[in-house]
Amino acid sequence: MSIHGKNFLMVPGPTNVPDRVLRAMHRNSEDHRSPDFPALAKTVLENIKMVFGTTKGRSFIFPASGTGAWEAALTNTLNKGDKVISVRFGQFSHLWIDMMQRLGLDVTILDVEWGEGIPIDILSNYIEQDTRHEYQAVCVVHNETTTGVTTDIAAVRNVLDRYHHPALLMVDGVSSIASIPFKMDEWRVDLAITGSQKGLMLPAGLGMVCASAKALERSKKNNLHRVFFSFEDMIVNNDVGYFPYTPSIPLLYGLKESLAMLMEEGLENVFARHRRLAQGVRRAVDAWGLKPCCKNPKEYSDTVTAVVVPEGFDAQQVIRIAYEKYNLSLGTGLMKVRGRVFRIGHLGDLNELMVLATLAGTEMAMLEVGIPIKLGSGVAAASEYYMKTSKQVRGLFNNI
C-alpha cells in the first residue's frame, strides 16, 4: 500500500470521520459523574431521536457496536422460547438470526436468494395464518449491507396492520439510519437499531436503540436475562443525565457534533445527497457493463452497491489490487457472495469527487485483474450525471 496520500475508505462502514467530529472527540478524560455531564448526555439522547424519525420513542446509547444493539433489543423485550419471524437475505440478517437462536428464541426463517429482497407475500401468508398471535416479533434488516438491498419497512408494517397482528416490529437500521429515510413513528417501528460507524460518521463503539412505548412495556415483564444491556438500568440513570456505567465520553462528544452537522445540512438534504451519489455509482456500474447484486431496481440501496464481477473472475483480487496499489479500500464480498462481488460504500461524509476518485481506482483495479471494461467509462457516466444534477443540489442547500 502507498505511504503517500490519504486512504480512500469506501467500504460501507466504518465510514470517513469528518474533521469537525475528530476535533470534537479530541479531548482529555473527564468525570462522567460531574454536575456538568447531564448537559452532554441529555443532549445526545434527545437529538439522536431525529435520525430515527421519532418524537415518541425512547433512545438508548450503549458503548457497543450494532451487534450489542441487536442484543439489547431482543433481550429487553422477548422471553425464552418466544416465536419470532425473520428473513435471511445476507450476512447481517443471518448473524442477527443466529443471535436469536443462541438466545433461545424459536425463529421461523424465510430464506431468499441473496440479492433479492424481503418476500412480502410469503411473510404475509405466515402472519395471516398466525391467528393465535404466537409470533412475538417480526425482525427485519432495513438495508442489507452484504448485497445492497433495501427493505420497504412500510410494507412490513402494512402486513401486520392488515391482520391486526400485535407482534413487535424490530428493524436493523445500522447502514440506513442517518443516510436514507427512516420513519420510526410513521411506520410504527417498535425497536430501531443502529451503530455509530455508518451514517453517523463516527468510529465504531456506540450501539443505539430507540424503543416504542409498546416495547418499553414489554421490557417490564419479559424474562430473557440482561445486565449490561438493561433498558431499566439505562432509564433510571439517563433520566437524571447519567449512565449506569462508564460511557465513551469522546464518542458522545463526537455524536453531539455529528448530529449537529446532520441538523445543519437538514435530513432531507442528507437523504437527497446520498440518493444522488448512489445514482452516480449505479450509472458507472452500468457503463462498465456489470450488474449490481441487488436484483430489483426498486430495492437498490443508497448507501452501498455490491458489484457482481463476470464469471471466471475473483472479486477479492479487485479488492486486493485496489488496496495495495491505489490505497483504495473497497468492501469485500461476505459469505455466499465472497469472490463474486466487491462493495462500494457511498454513505456518510463524502461528496462527488470522493466517489469519482473511487470509481477511477476501481476501474484501474478491475483492468489489472483482466475484467474487460473501458477505462474511464464509469467515471465519465457518473461525472455526466453529477454535472446534470448539480443545479438541483445547489438549490437544496440554499437554506443552509
Dihedral in degrees, nearest 10, Cα atoms 244, 250, 253, 258: -120
* 361, 318 Cβ separation under 8 angstroms: no
Q: Phi and psi at residue 135, in whole multiples of 5°?
A: -70, 125
Strands 8-9 and 328-329: parallel
CA 77 to CA 164: how far, in whole Å?
Answer: 20
Amino acid at 43: T
Q: List the beta bridge partners of residue 309.
A: none
Q: Is the peptide bond before 14 cis (omega within 30 degrees of 0)?
A: yes
Q: Which residue has the cell 451514517?
A: 199
Does the annotation list 132 as a binding residue?
Answer: no
* 140, 172 Cβ separation under 8 angstroms: yes
Q: Phi and psi at residue 217, in whole multiples of 5°?
A: -65, -40
* 323, 1 Cβ separation under 8 angstroms: yes
Q: Which residues are annotated as a binding site?
A: 343
Q: Which residues are annotated as a binding site for substrate?
A: 343
